[in-house]
Structure 1
Amino acid sequence: MLNLTPTEKQAWRGFLHTHDSLWKALDAELGKDELNLPAYELLTTLQDTGLSGMRMTELARSLRFSGGGLTRLADKLQRQGLIGRRRCPEDGRGWEVYLTSVGEEKLRRIHARHLREVRSRFLDRLSPQETELLAGIWRRFEETP
């Protein structure tokens, strides 16, 4: 039977616990503005693309969503007026998603507060060297084995 060493177990369980507690706290904070973390990530990703928007398939891949999961979230955000969808001008088959002016305004209102929460709940607990180390470690997991 395979076992983890005590240090490995602490590292793994610590990661899981920290991820879970940070996710819940940040998600609850965004919930005050009727958003959640996946919606916030979608909106900030679209903000980065500018006026051109992004194809739904590319957005799903970027956000690590299934096609159906992204469609449900996009439907909800579109009903709230935060995003819009249009046919892709290149081929007319796919759909592009873009951030609306209402979505821009909502992000502008909550962005600074969200980043303050990220800083106080996570970044302020690390030294600059630890932050640099973690940034390098996470890059190792971006590649698929």
Structure 2
Amino acid sequence: MQLFKFILRKDTPLQIAYRYRSYGIKLKSFDPPYLSVKPPMHVYQSVQFDIRGHDYVQLERFTSYVHKFFINCGYEVENFPLPPSKKLYRLYHTNSTNIRSDFEISEFRRIYRISGVKAVHLPILLDLIYQNLSSGIKIHIGKVSFDY
């Protein structure tokens, strides 16, 4: 109580210790420098996504989703379509060589290449793409190859 009376007197100025100010203090670490160095993170030069499907409209919708997804993630995207591969199927009558019906099925393909993907981010990206994969669409992921 006497302290407050001393501070509140008009004839003496109010003095407060400035201990909370810390100018010029440098923090030093006593650990060796190799403990604070982060390991290098592997970055893939480019990853190729081969997207295939028999339904053209469904394939185009999924590839537009994939394209927007990679652009929003900040990757450089390169994509191009390949000509459809057509296969001829024949159904035969039972126990006969007579053809019951012929039909042709086309398989459409799109190739997507993204570059600059960190190895830590790739499993997360793949998981998100596989979770949103449409039915009837297959996706193959690998290194860039020019064998189509």
TM-score range, shorter chain: under 0.3
User: When you count helix as a share of all residues, which structure comes out higher?
Assistant: 1
Structure (1 or 2) with the greater strand fraction: 2
Q: State TM-score, norm by structure 2.
A: 0.24
Decide which structure has the larger Cα Rg and report it. 2
